[in-house]
Amino acid sequence: AQSVTQLGSHVSVSEGALVLLRCNYSSSVPPYLFWYVQYPNQGLQLLLKYTSAATLVKGINGFEAEFKKSETSFHLTKPSAHMSDAAEYFCAVRASGGSYIPTFGRGTSLIVHP
Amino acid sequence: SQTIHQWPATLVQPVGSPLSLECTVEGTSNPNLYWYRQAAGRGLQLLFYSVGIGQISSEVPQNLSASRPQDRQFILSSKKLLLSDSGFYLCAWSHIGTATYEQYFGPGTRLTVT
């Protein structure tokens, strides 16, 4: 079985500040991990994915995430927030060798203040 | 490159009316296809998925149904809509040739049942 917990349904930052969105996962086998972004009234867009090739994964729009097995975490970061980063962010996990259907977290809404 | 289309973009339907939402994928063959629903302020709920023509798996018992008449076409239907069917409907696909099976989402259909 696999599960995802996104800590904080809302995260508020100032423009130019560090963005940190937290994701913890549970998986009985090595996982594949994903971050998606959803802008208002749009579909989800893949930001980045972890496939075990490297623990630090770089994605689009300046985002990156680090896989930490000991902490079962896959937190999403961006050094400097931009107003255009305001959106809903979803973390997802899929167990390697398991079902091809991922489990999604409930999402974190990122609010960026000018 | 691959593209996923959904239509209509928005729909307002009275209770008890039928529903048909369509999703098509271009640029790939034999994709896995998925229907999700997002209720207001909530996460993603997987409704149906399909691994091939005519093969539909249902995740949640409800008054909705899905069909896959062609390889890259996925249709979500209802004979009689309920108020609780309102939401944002997302179609997604994943490539069976990758180990990660990351999903790619369409733009969504906003359904309001009145």
Tens digits of per-residue pLDDT, A25-84? Answer: 998 888 899 999 999 999 999 999 998 878 999 999 999 999 999 999 999 999 999 999
A44 close to B (CB below 8 A): yes
Can you give the pLDDT at residue B61? 66
Check whether A98 has a pLDDT greater than 90.
no
In angstroms, the CA A14 to CA B112 distance is 34
Tell me the C-alpha distance between B113 and A44, whole Å: 23
Nearest alpha-carbon partner for A72 in A89, A93, A90: A93
**Interchain proximity A101–B92, CB inside 8 Å:** no
Distance CA B105, CA B37 (A): 12
**pLDDT band for position B100 (cuts 50, 70, 90):** confident
Chain B interface test: which of A23, A35, A57, A100 (most B C-beta within 10 Å): A100
Task: Calculate the average pLDDT of chain A.
Answer: 94
Mean pLDDT value across residues A87-99: 89
CB contact under 8 A, A51 and B99: yes
Q: Is B38 exposed, middle or buried (0-12, 13-18, 19+ CB in 10 A)?
A: buried
pLDDT reported for residue A29: 82
Q: Contact B43/A44, CB-based, under 8 Å?
A: no
